[in-house]
Amino acid sequence: MKIYLDGKFVDQADAKVSVFDHGLLYGDGVFEGIRLYDGNIFRLDEHLERLEYSAKAILLDLPLSRAEISKATCETCRVNGLKDAYIRLVVTRGVGDLGLSPWLCSKPSIFIIATKIALYPQEHYDNGLSLVTVASRRVNPAALPSTVKSLNYLNNILAKIEARQAGALEAIMLNDQGYVAECTADNVFIFHKGELITPSASQGALNGITRGSIFSIAAELGIPIREANLTRYDLWCSEECFMTGTAAEVVPVVKVDGRTVGSGRPGPVTARVLASFRRRVLVEGTRI
C-alpha cells in the first residue's frame, strides 16, 4: 500500500510521523473520512470544504490548496489501484516541542491513506442495531465546536467503550443539556409522524456529509425533514431510527436503551433512504 505523505508516495512501512508531531502529542489536527465508490469519490468537494472549515476553526493553515488536496486524494486511490475504498485524510499541526504552542510547529503534515473498506456486517442492515445511551457526553460546543472534525476523539472513544461494556455495538451520546447529539462516529435520525428529524450541529452533532445527503434524499422522496432537539424519549418512541456515516452509510436502529423502536425491525423509510443513498453514491462523485 502506498501512502501519500507530505507530497510523496511512500510504502506503508515508511509512512511515519515524528513523536514530536502535535497531532500525536495533543490530538492537534483535523481529518476526513471519505469513500470511493466504483472509481468516484463521494462528495469530495464537501469533505474538503469541511476540512478547510475545521482547519480554519483551529487556526491551522492547510499546507495545500483544495485543488492540490483533491488531486493528491485521487492519486492516492489510483496508485493503489482502488475502485472502492475508504480514504483517511489527516492534517496534523506538525513537529513542535513538548509544549502546547502550535506556533512553534514548523509546518503542518498531511497524509492520505486509501484502503479497502471493511464493510459493516450485512446483519447490521438486515436486523438493525441496538444502541444504549452512555454517560460520556459530547464536548460542549463552547469548548470545542462539534463541527470541527479534529483528532480529539477521546470522549467518543470512552462512549464506545461504555456501549460495549453495556453489551451494545454503538452509543447514543447526549450533549451537556441532556439532548441527543449523535453516535460515536455517526449521526442519528428518527422518523416519526411522517417526518425525519435529526439533532443540529448546535446540539453537538458533526455536520456529517452523509447526514447532508439525507436532506437531499428526503427532498427527492418527498419526506419532510428538519433539525430539532431530540430527547432519549423521542428516540424510544420513534417509529424508525437510523444512523448515518461515511463508513456505515445508513444503518437501521431497532432498539434504544432496551426500548423497541417501532416494530423492532428495520423500517420501510430507512430502507428507502438507504436504497436511494446507494443509488446516489454511484452517480454523484469525483472521478479519480
Please give the residue ranges that form the binding site for ligand PMP (CB under 6 A).
33, 156, 182, 185-187, 206, 208-211, 244-246
**Strand arrangement of the beta sheet that strand 40-41 belongs to:** 8-11, 2-5, 109-115, 85-92, 29-37, 40-41, 286-287
User: What is the smallest separation between the CB atom of 162 and ligand PMP, expressed in angstroms?
Assistant: 15
Q: Which is nearer to ligand PMP, 62 or 206 (CB)?
A: 206
Q: Which helix (H) or strand (E) holds 240?
A: strand 240-245
Q: Which is nearer to ligand PMP, 110 or 188 (CB)?
A: 188
User: What is the smallest separation between the CB atom of 88 and ligand PMP, expressed in angstroms?
Assistant: 10
User: What is the smallest separation between the CB atom of 132 and ligand PMP, expressed in angstroms?
Assistant: 17
User: What is the smallest separation between the CB atom of 156 and ligand PMP, expressed in angstroms?
Assistant: 6
Which amino acid makes up residue 248?
A
Nearest-angstrom CA–CA distance, 202 and 204:
5
What sign does the dihedral 250-43-184-227 (CA atoms) show?
Answer: negative
User: What is the smallest separation between the CB atom of 189 and ligand PMP, expressed in angstroms?
Assistant: 12
Q: Which helix (H) or strand (E) holds 233?
A: helix 232-236
Q: Which is nearer to ligand PMP, 92 or 96 (CB)?
A: 92
Q: Which is nearer to ligand PMP, 44 or 209 (CB)?
A: 209
Whether 149 sits among the annotated catalytic residues: the reply is yes
Q: Which is nearer to ligand PMP, 94 or 208 (CB)?
A: 208
Nearest-angstrom CA–CA distance, 198 and 220:
18
Q: Which residue is nearest to ligand PMP (CB)?
A: 208
- Which of 71, 149, 160, 255 does the annotation list as catalytic? 149
β-pairing verdict for 240-245 and 187-192: antiparallel
Which amino acid makes up residue 183?
C
Closest CA to 182 of 144, 133, 149, 143: 133
- The DSSP call for residue 122 is H
Which are the catalytic amino acids? 149
